[in-house]
């Protein structure tokens, strides 16, 4: 049966299935982006590649400011309607979402014009891109809310391939002059792909001049705008961190930080990117049922730890080789920072699923408060730790901010939403955490040979523990074995 089954359970099989689907797609997207960036850097050179990154950052920032949080708030409400099964209300709400996304696209166009007048006239040429991003965000939120998750995965992969196919020819022929044109065309193509998948299910109907439609969409703004502010705060911390590094150190140190951050946070964060399309709508549909909500969150934490525990040990063991493969030997000073940064990724296995409670209930003000407090602590911790331990301090500071985030969110959400850890979740997380800590110690203080021996043993320990959880709580291993036997028999 397709993913539209109304009563999807929160079994480990279900979670791993969709995490695997979206994780695989995200992995392919990353691979395609690596190849695209390699080719783009060769075609444009450092200056052109930097300019392309600048325009991408500008367009993403304008989209974040102009979308009014509708892609997030609409998923939350649409998931509740989907659980209720009211087709008439679903159809009307989809019309509301699309109407408001059309207006946010026009708002993005206006912001482009203002930014062009103030900063750089070429920003206005990004208008097709940011307007397309607004429409795309609405279409993706509709598919997520209606549990059409396979379509979301297929669209994501098709979009990555389309971006590659559009970008490289423009840059090949036009070089620097093709940067903005390639960005605009690839964004519009992604929008077209989304519409090709959504319109057969939900025909396009908008009423941009209807006061009733606009008024019914106002609650989306009240929920969504704090999410916009959250994104701006997070972006601000990232920018301030880089500004501090440029001022206190050098562009080389900033480069090490960016390289390590990209590998550890962006690439290793594939698990969290993969879990959101399934987990957020599923949690939203049970957000008023305390027992089902807590069970879903605990199951999601176990699934994240199960995947991330062994993966992070393997990752820190391979850090020097990844730096040389994806960059050059010049970036090897980032190794120790990345190893110390690994606890941040592990702690997110706990904090991210719990943080989704506020998102699923539409409590955007609480979510905003938690994120701002975390951002302020994170900035202070990284700057302080850098002054104490130089580049390694950034990894330590980020991991400390991850611990702060877990303590803050659990303290607040356990009181406000009655969230509780299950004993099995807590014990499994602590076991994998201790194993990871031993691997970090081995990477930092043991010679190369003994480091590999220790990490391989610890990887086997973590992997065996995860395997036992799979055997006990899931039949995915058995199903895979049956498929392999059938193929071998044939």
Residue 449: strand, helix, or coil = helix
Longest dimension (CA), the chain: 70
pLDDT value at 4 more than 60: no
Q: Where does residue 203 rank: exposed (0-12), middle (13-18), buried (19+ CB within 10 A)?
A: exposed
Considering the chain, what percentage of its residues have pLDDT values greater than 90? 22
Task: Give the mean pLDDT of 298-326.
Answer: 85
Q: Which residue is associated with the tokens 């021996």?
A: 453
| Predicted confidence band of residue 27 (pLDDT cuts 50, 70, 90) | low
Question: Does residue 76 contact residue 359 with C-beta atoms inside 8 Å?
Answer: yes
Compute the distance between CA of residue 216 and CA of residue 176 in angstroms, rounded to an integer.
45
Q: Please tell me which of 97-106, 164-173, 241-250 the model is most confident about, judged by mean pLDDT.
A: 97-106
pLDDT value at 148 more than 80: yes
pLDDT value at 443 more than 60: yes
For 208-267, what is each residue's pLDDT tens digit?
A: 989 999 999 888 887 778 778 877 777 777 767 777 776 776 666 777 777 777 777 766
Residue 228: closest CA among 134, 142, 155: 134
Chain mean pLDDT for the chain: 81
For 335-379, what is each residue's pLDDT tens digit?
A: 888 888 889 989 988 888 888 888 777 777 888 888 889 889 988
Compute the distance between CA of residue 342 and CA of residue 373 in angstroms, rounded to an integer.
21
* pLDDT value for 157: 84
Compute the distance between CA of residue 429 and CA of residue 432 in angstroms, rounded to an integer.
5
More confident residue, 206 or 329: 206
Q: What is the dihedral of CA 303, 304, 306, 312, to 10 degrees?
A: 170
* pLDDT value for 9: 43
pLDDT value at 16 more than 70: no
Question: Does residue 158 contact residue 151 with C-beta atoms inside 8 Å?
Answer: no
pLDDT value at 57 more than 80: no
Task: Give the mean pLDDT of 47-74.
Answer: 78
pLDDT value at 488 more than 70: no
Residue 463: closest CA among 304, 349, 343, 309: 309
Compute the distance between CA of residue 37 and CA of residue 17 in angstroms, rounded to an integer.
30
Q: Please tell me which of 46-60, 382-396, 428-442 the model is most confident about, judged by mean pLDDT.
A: 428-442
State how far the alpha carbon of 280 is from the alpha carbons of 217, 265, 300, in Å. 20, 20, 11
| Predicted confidence band of residue 2 (pLDDT cuts 50, 70, 90) | very low
Question: Does residue 431 contact residue 465 with C-beta atoms inside 8 Å?
Answer: yes
Task: Give the mean pLDDT of 405-422.
Answer: 90
């Amino acid at each position: 049966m397709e993913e539209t089954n109304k009563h999807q359970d929160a079994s480990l099989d279900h979670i791993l299935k969709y995490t695997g689907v979206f994780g695989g797609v995200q992995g392919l997207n990353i691979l395609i982006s690596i190849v695209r960036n390699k080719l783009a850097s060769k075609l444009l050179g450092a200056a052109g590649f930097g300019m392309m990154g600048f325009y991408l950052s500008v367009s993403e920032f304008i989209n974040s400011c102009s979308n009014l949080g509708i892609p997030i708030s609409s998923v939350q409400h649409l998931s509740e309607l989907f659980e209720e099964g009211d087709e008439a209300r679903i159809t009307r709400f989809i019309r509301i979402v699309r109407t408001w996304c059309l207006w946010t696209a026009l708002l993005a166009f206006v912001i482009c014009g203002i930014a062009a007048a103030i900063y750089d006239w070429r920003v206005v040429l990004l208008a097709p891109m940011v307007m397309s991003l607004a429409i795309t965000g609405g279409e993706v939120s509709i598919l997520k809310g209606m549990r059409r998750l396979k379509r979301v995965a297929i669209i994501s992969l098709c979009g990555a391939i389309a971006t590659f196919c559009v970008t490289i020819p423009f840059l090949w022929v036009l070089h620097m002059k093709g940067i903005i044109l390639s960005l605009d065309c690839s964004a519009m193509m992604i929008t077209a792909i989304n519409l090709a998948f959504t319109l057969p299910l939900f025909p396009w109907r908008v009423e941009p001049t209807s006061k009733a439609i606009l008024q019914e969409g106002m609650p989306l703004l009240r929920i969504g705008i704090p999410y916009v502010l959250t994104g701006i705060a997070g972006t601000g911390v990232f920018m301030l961190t880089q500004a501090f590094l440029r001022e206190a150190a050098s562009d080389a140190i900033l480069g090490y930080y960016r390289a390590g951050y990209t590998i550890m946070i962006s690439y290793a964060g594939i698990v969290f990117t993969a879990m959101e399309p399934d987990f957020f709508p599923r949690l939203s549909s049970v957000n008023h049922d305390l027992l089902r909500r807590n069970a879903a969150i605990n199951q999601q934490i176990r699934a994240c730890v199960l995947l991330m525990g062994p993966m992070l040990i393997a990752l820190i063991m391979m850090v020097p080789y990844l730096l040389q493969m994806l960059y050059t030997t010049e970036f090897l000073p980032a190794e120790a920072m990345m190893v110390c940064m690994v606890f941040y990724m592990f702690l997110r296995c706990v904090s991210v699923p719990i943080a989704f409670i506020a998102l699923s209930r539409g409590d955007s003000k609480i979510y905003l408060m938690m994120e701002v407090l975390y951002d302020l602590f994170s900035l202070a911790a990284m700057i302080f730790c850098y002054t104490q331990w130089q580049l390694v301090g950034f990894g330590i500071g980020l991991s400390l901010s991850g611990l702060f985030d877990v303590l803050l969110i659990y303290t607040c959400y356990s009181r406000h939403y009655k969230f509780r850890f299950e004993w099995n979740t807590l014990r499994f997380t602590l076991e994998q955490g201790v194993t990871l800590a031993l691997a970090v110690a081995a990477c930092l203080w043991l010679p190369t040979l003994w480091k590999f021996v220790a990490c391989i043993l610890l990887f086997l320990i973590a992997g065996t523990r995860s395997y036992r959880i799979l055997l006990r709580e899931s039949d995915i291993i058995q199903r895979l074995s049956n498929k392999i036997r059938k193929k071998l028999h044939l």
